Amino acid sequence: MSDNPSLTHCPANAEPDVLPLGGLLALACAGFITILTEAMPAGLLPQMGAGLGVSPALVGQLVTLYALGSLLAAIPLTLLTRGWRRRPLLLVAIAGFALVNSVTAISSHYGLTLVARFFAGVFAGLLWALLAGYASRMVAPHLQGRAIAIAMLGAPLALTLGVPAGTLLGTLVGWRLSFAIMTGLTLALLLWARWQLPDFAGQAAQQRLGLRQVMRLRGIRPVLWVTFTYVLAHNILYTYIAPLLEPAGIQADIDRVLLVFGLTALLSIWLVGLLIDRWLRSLVLLSCMLFGLSALALAFWIDSPAIIYIAVAAWGLAFGGLPALLQTALAKSAGESADAAQSMLVTVWNLGIAGGGLAGGLLLQSWGVLAFPWAVVALMLLAVCKRP
């Protein structure tokens, strides 16, 4: 997680201590639309099932195909497009969401909708691989962490506010119109991004490192290791949050619990944005420790509603700023190969999501919810102690 002076793509006319908020917020909106596109079917299962003539369980596979597209496409697509100019490539990724959401809005065939969702995941894998590197190129080196934190605002805002709002909108106006509205928002974002974002050259052929060479750069493997263990632990708890609340008898309050998590996650992003450029490594370690301590509290007092709310608040505070921390660390370590490294992070992140769902299900079946906190504690110890 050491600083790398080669990552200095700040435009010549940029003011050294001024953040280009218009461009950074355009990147954040791209992330917002990406997460909203991914998660909206989960809140509209019955309506989409009725419209497509399939069961809610099959509608749930729309989320699965999206994740699969991201997992399969992030690394190869990023490597194939390293020579492209950055702004046209980013605009192609954003435009892809307008296309796939339009297809989703008008499709009456489940198979066609699945294909659209797969390609939505493909565009998402490319976009997430670009965002952190793009943000870091727009500012001076000492502001890169703060710029990435702003560019990453879209994801937690989408999860905390966008998905509930999208679900409500779908209930009021129908799921097809909801996806059509998403297309309209994406087209507006295209114009905004074209206006606000500077352009950067792609990598020259002689500068491009192979995937193995990028992996061997100092700091890359530790960041990817922390990413996998942390996201795996997070998704064990987050995916199975409903059964986790049962011992305390508050499973009916899941919306309030998730709201607490979301609000403290937003607070975390603000705090990380203030401190990231001075204490990057310390903040990563602090995040792992705080998450581990919150899990430890759940392990001993899982039947206490008050402790659960406190632990969930601490968990949100630990997790909210994590994407910005990890992406900044990776960008600084990878230098000119930041986009290739970010594509690895996208892949590892999705593996952690899939692994969390699988591992959590096995733990729930074998040992029950009491195993969840201890699994998280073990993974956080591996995150801070093991050096891959």
Residue 15 domain flag: no
**173 shares a domain with 89:** yes
Q: Is the pLDDT of residue 7 over 50?
A: no
Domain coverage including residue 114: 21-203
**173 shares a domain with 232:** no
- Which of 183, 203, 223 is the last residue before a domain boundary? 203
Which pLDDT score, from 0 to 100, does residue 376 have?
95
> Alpha helices of the chain — where are they, by DSSP H?
21-43, 45-52, 56-80, 86-106, 110-137, 144-151, 154-157, 163-173, 175-196, 211-216, 220-239, 241-244, 254-275, 280-301, 305-319, 322-334, 338-366, 371-385
The C-alpha atoms of residue 61 and residue 107 are separated, in whole angstroms, by 16
The C-alpha atoms of residue 7 and residue 336 are separated, in whole angstroms, by 6
CA 114 to chain centre: 21
Q: For residue 386, what pLDDT band results from cuts at 50, 70 and 90?
A: low
**178 shares a domain with 84:** yes
**Tokens 């630990």 belong to residue:** 318
The C-alpha atoms of residue 258 and residue 348 are separated, in whole angstroms, by 24
- Which of 168, 203, 238 is the last residue before a domain boundary? 203
**186 shares a domain with 94:** yes
pLDDT digits (tens, 9 = 90+) for 111-125: 999 999 999 999 998
pLDDT digits (tens, 9 = 90+) for 310-351: 999 999 999 988 988 998 888 888 777 777 888 888 888 888
**199 shares a domain with 64:** yes
What is the pLDDT averaged over residues 197-209? 75
Q: Is the pLDDT of residue 210 over 90?
A: no
Comparing C-alpha atoms, which of 209, 302, 305, 221 is closest to residue 256?
A: 305
**317 shares a domain with 276:** yes
Helix (H, G, I), strand (E, B) or coil at 10: coil
Residue 16 domain flag: no
**182 shares a domain with 215:** no
**183 shares a domain with 69:** yes
Mean pLDDT is lowest, of 135-139, 203-207, 274-278, for 203-207
**195 shares a domain with 93:** yes
Residue 14 domain flag: no
Q: Which of 26-35, 141-150, 235-244 has the highest mean pLDDT?
A: 26-35
The number of distinct structural domains making up the chain is 2
Which pLDDT score, from 0 to 100, does residue 282 have?
93
**Tokens 């009725």 belong to residue:** 50
Residue 12 domain flag: no
Report the CATH number that the domain containing residue 60 is assigned in CATH: 1.20.1250.20
Residue 2 domain flag: no
User: And the tokens for 109?
Assistant: 């065939």
**88 shares a domain with 71:** yes
Q: Is the pLDDT of residue 46 over 90?
A: no
- For the chain, give the number of residues: 388
DSSP state of 139: S
Residue 82 domain flag: yes
The C-alpha atoms of residue 323 and residue 153 are separated, in whole angstroms, by 10
Q: Is the pLDDT of residue 6 over 60?
A: no
- Which of 182, 203, 224 is the last residue before a domain boundary? 203
Q: For residue 58, what pLDDT band results from cuts at 50, 70 and 90?
A: confident
The C-alpha atoms of residue 266 and residue 323 are separated, in whole angstroms, by 12
Which pLDDT score, from 0 to 100, does residue 123 have?
94
User: And the tokens for 129?
Assistant: 């691989």
Q: What predicted TM-score, i.e. pTM, was given to this entire model?
A: 0.80
User: Is the CB of residue 236 less than 8 Å from the CB of residue 288?
Assistant: no
Q: 80-100 burial, b if ≥16 CB within 10 A, otherwise e?
A: ebbeeebeebbbebbbbbbeb
Which pLDDT score, from 0 to 100, does residue 113 have?
93
- Spell out the long-range contacts of 93-96 with Cβ–Cβ below 8 A and sequence spacing 24 or more: 93/30, 93/123, 93/126, 93/127, 93/130, 94/30, 94/33, 94/127, 94/186, 94/189, 94/190, 94/193, 95/186, 95/190, 96/120, 96/122, 96/123, 96/126
Residue 13 domain flag: no
